[in-house]
Amino acid sequence: MNKLELPANSTMLNKDFVYGVATASFQIEGGIDDRLACIWDTFCATEGKIADSSNGAIACNHYEKWQDDIKLIDSLGVDAYRLSISWPRVMNQDGSANQQGLDFYIAILDALIARNIKPFVTLYHWDLPQHLEDNGGWLNRDTAYKFQEYVELVTKAFGDRVHSYATLNEPFCSAYLGYEVGIHAPGKVGKEFGKKAAHHLLLAHGLGMQVLQKNSPNTMNGIVLNFTPCYPETSADQAAANYADDYFNQWYIKPILDKAYPTIIDDLPKSQQPEVFDGDFEIISQPLDFLGINFYTRAIYTSHDEEIFEQLPPPAPITDIGWEIYPSSFTKLLTDLNSRYQLPPIYITENGAAMADTFVDGQVNDLDRLNYYQQHLVAVNNAIEQGVNVQGYFAWSLMDNFEWAEGYLKRFGIVHVDYDTQQRTIKQSGLAYRDLILSRP
């Protein structure tokens, strides 16, 4: 099959279901001379951290090519574009505005609005200003208050241009990958760091939400969380899988919706527990207008004596980045969350696949990626049929880009990028996505 299809009665074929594409500042922009350094600049400059020793200096050169890129986005027929703001581009070290940086984003927002494309803005997609990391980064509670000042500055500057604000993208990745296992910036390693960083990120989210409610009450405000559903290898491993689920997934949603960490917090040694001040959960649990969910894969766990759980290597089929393709876990994730929590409306803010694309005769015939999208769109539709209120879906990503620790080796785009010429070519998956969107009656 070379097209994307949904059942004729699917609510995902309604005109008001939002389809979009997503990117993030550090992954596409380049243009590093006009902003402060961020933790990913430093991390990329550290030997051995990035698979191809690359960095974000040029990336997709979106900083210069943004006007063409917005035309490209428009040509895909999407209703919305999810982008992130680079904190070190818009705020100087003394907290004052970098007007040139703000103007860059304001021009993008205006161009999107002129084309009737809804801007979904993520305020923090991992590019923490390096000077804040030098003061402890997310291990320093004060960084949450610095984030609040940044949200204040951005919301005032952007006015009513934004359709939706998300405070953070995937605090799990910032906290666990960045401060516990060190495979993301800033590369800190230690079990005593992860949950502390997570708590300050969640606090930043709550403080940011307060500013959004005050300065931007008419936008749809929320947060983007990632989930990797945890499956047991055998029924004897159910407790291990549940523990991993609490540690990696529920840890980030439960404080926001239920004002508490999962009860496994009591099993953690004191040194690994976050420092929770009185009133923190009240701040963290600001009402959400929406919850953004990013989904790529599931994980399988077995029991482990010391570590409680151990992740097994993913079985086939896997994508080029090694993630198992298991679409039914997407439906299950959504229905499980829906029965567990009082959820606000859901937007799938990222879903997609890295594939080993080939560029032949000016085309990328990525039927493997197209098939991934087909299966996962149906998985979302199945969840909607089971009562989950999903109102939108964003493909990750608009175009191939800097895939963090993997550098430019893994391609997630529905648009191909030739990094030598910066030429963009819509892949078969992108054409099929466009056709699905335009086919809506």
Q: Which is nearer to ligand FCB, 308 or 405 (CB)?
A: 405
133 is catalytic: no
Of 107-115, 144-152, 165-173, 377-385: span binding ligand FCB (CB under 6 A): 165-173
Q: Which is nearer to ligand FCB, 10 or 27 (CB)?
A: 27
Of 45-53, 166-174, 193-201, 235-243: span binding ligand FCB (CB under 6 A): 166-174
Q: Does 436 bind ligand FCB (CB under 6 A)?
A: no
Q: Is 341 annotated as a binding residue?
A: no
Of 1-9, 56-64, 167-175, 277-285: span binding ligand FCB (CB under 6 A): 167-175
Q: Is 31 exposed, middle or buried (0-12, 13-18, 19+ CB in 10 A)?
A: buried
Element (DSSP H or E) covering residue 89: helix 87-90
| Nearest-angstrom CA–CA distance, 370 and 1 | 9
Q: Does 24 bind ligand FCB (CB under 6 A)?
A: yes
Cβ atoms of 131 and 93 within 8 Å: the answer is yes
Q: Is 365 annotated as a binding residue?
A: no
Q: Identify residue 173 by its one-letter amino acid code.
A: C
CA 215 to chain centre: 24
Report the residue from 10, 25, 55, 169 that binds ligand FCB according to the rule CB under 6 A: 169
Cβ atoms of 219 and 162 within 8 Å: the answer is yes
Q: Which is nearer to ligand FCB, 261 or 394 (CB)?
A: 394
Q: What is the dihedral of CA 119, 10, 378, 336, to 10 degrees?
A: 80
Please tell me which residue in 29, 133, 152, 170 is annotated as part of the active site: 170
310 is catalytic: no
Please tell me which residue in 29, 152, 324, 350 is annotated as part of the active site: 350
Of 6-14, 196-204, 330-338, 396-404: span binding ligand FCB (CB under 6 A): 396-404
Q: Residue 317 carries which DSSP code? A: S
Q: Is 114 exposed, middle or buried (0-12, 13-18, 19+ CB in 10 A)?
A: exposed
How many residues sit close enough to ligand FCB to count as binding (CB under 6 A)?
A: 12
Q: Does 324 bind ligand FCB (CB under 6 A)?
A: no
Q: Does 226 bind ligand FCB (CB under 6 A)?
A: yes
Q: Which is nearer to ligand FCB, 280 or 406 (CB)?
A: 406
Q: Does 412 bind ligand FCB (CB under 6 A)?
A: yes
Instruction: Transcribe 406-433 into DSSP letters.
Output: GTTSS---SEEEETTTTEEEE-HHHHHH
Residues 82-99, buried b or exposed e (16+ Cβ, 10 A)?
A: bbbbbbbbbbbeeeeebe
> Min. distance of Cβ 323 from ligand FCB in angstroms?
9
Q: Does 170 bind ligand FCB (CB under 6 A)?
A: yes
| Nearest-angstrom CA–CA distance, 150 and 168 | 13
> Min. distance of Cβ 126 from ligand FCB in angstroms?
7
Q: Residue 8 carries which DSSP code? A: T
Q: Does 403 bind ligand FCB (CB under 6 A)?
A: yes
| Nearest-angstrom CA–CA distance, 143 and 128 | 10
Q: Does 350 bind ligand FCB (CB under 6 A)?
A: yes
Q: What is the dihedral of CA 182, 183, 184, 188, to 10 degrees?
A: 10
Q: Does 79 bind ligand FCB (CB under 6 A)?
A: no
Query: Which residues, 6+ apart, have CB-to-CB distance to 403 below 8 Å?
Result: 27, 321, 354, 409, 410, 411, 412
Binding residues for ligand FCB, per CB under 6 A? 24, 27, 169-170, 173, 226, 294, 350, 396, 403-404, 412
Residues with catalytic roles: 170, 350
Binding site feature residues for substrate: 27, 125, 169, 296, 396, 403-404
Binding site feature residues: 27, 125, 169, 296, 396, 403-404
